[in-house]
Amino acid sequence: MRHLGAIAGRELRSYFVSPMAYAVLAVFSLLAGFFLVMQVLSFNAAIAYLEQTQQLETLDRFNLNEVVVYGYYHVIWIVLLLLVPGLTMGLFSNEKANGTEELLLTSPITIWELVLGKYLAAGAMVTLLIAVVAGFIGILFAYGDPEPLQTAAGLLGLWLLALTYAAIGAFTSSMTPSPLVAFVFSVLVLLMLFFLGFAVDVGMGAQAGGAGADGLLENLRWISSDGHFDELTRGLVDTRSLAYFGFMIGVFLLLTKASVESVRWR
């Protein structure tokens, strides 16, 4: 693994000479800030309304964590789903397009060094995105008093989600010499994963009167990231959800490795 640093370092530097990384960072910061303001404003409006109409019981249950932070994290989820593929689309496709794949595959490095080095760089970039979210959330602590642990668990959830998306993006990037195709393809995969959760919920709802949850539906539900992420945003740090993200990252990095290597077998 001694080439890891060289590969990750080159990748990171190439992020910051291309306008793409700046564009993704700027758009992300803008959206993250905008949605936070929206969340807070609608929260304030709702509180004012509840006070006015003397719904004290509801007002009691209406807190910063449940409404603002939880809702905010779910909006950021969608933003990540659309922007992380922008960060990963060039990882391998650019090497194919440049012809530098030939340099890499004829150098005394292993495919794992290549895949992990690139993933490390992409991981650093998505960590930067999550740091932006953490910064905005920090502002909330000045404004009110969100529950620190639940807030942190949710951030962890976002980070794991983004890392999972980066692994999926790395995989799609390894399948095509076109970054654009890689981008579209990974957004499609991520959307499928996203809607899988809802589809399963609907399926389960339809079955609810019957014999209970079907094994297949349970499995599909597990594969979809929704439930695991949701648990984390509620402050439940369960090893099962952590294992889920680890599993997904592992599977997609393995697929990426196989895909990069497949040039050799074609």
Partner 1 sequence: MIEAQGISKRYGDFVAVDNLSFEAEAGDVVGFLGPNGAGKTTTMRILTGFMPATDGTAVIGGYDIHEAPLDARRAVGYLPESPPVYPEMDVRGYLVYVSKLKDVPRAKRREAVDRAMERCGLTEVHRRPIGALSKGYRQRVGIAQAIVHEPRVLILDEPTVGLDPNQILEIRELLARLARSDEGGTARTIVLSTHILAEVDAICRRVILIRDGRKVLDQPLEQIRSEQGSLEQAFARLTLGAEAPPAASLTASGSEDGE
Name the residues that contact partner 1, by CB under 8 A: 3, 6-7, 10, 13-14, 17-18, 98-110, 263-266
> CA-to-CA distance for 14 and 77, rounded, in angstroms?
26
Nearer to partner 1, 104 or 140 (CB): 104
From residue 79, give the alpha-carbon distance in Å to each of 15, 46, 150, 217: 20, 25, 21, 27
Residue type at 262 in one-letter notation: S
Nearer to partner 1, 18 or 44 (CB): 18
In 3-state terms the chain splits into helix, strand, coil percentages (rounded to 5) of 85, 0, 15
Nearer to partner 1, 13 or 240 (CB): 13
Nearer to partner 1, 23 or 103 (CB): 103
- Rounded to a whole number of angstroms, the minimum distance from the CB of residue 160 to partner 1 is 31
- Rounded to a whole number of angstroms, the minimum distance from the CB of residue 18 to partner 1 is 7
- Rounded to a whole number of angstroms, the minimum distance from the CB of residue 165 to partner 1 is 25
- Rounded to a whole number of angstroms, the minimum distance from the CB of residue 121 to partner 1 is 13
Helices 239-261 and 111-143 meet at what angle, rounded to 10? Answer: 140
The per-residue DSSP string of 159-190 comes to: HHHHHHHHHHHHHHHTT-S-HHHHHHHHHHHH
Nearer to partner 1, 51 or 102 (CB): 102
- Rounded to a whole number of angstroms, the minimum distance from the CB of residue 107 to partner 1 is 4
Residue type at 258 in one-letter notation: A
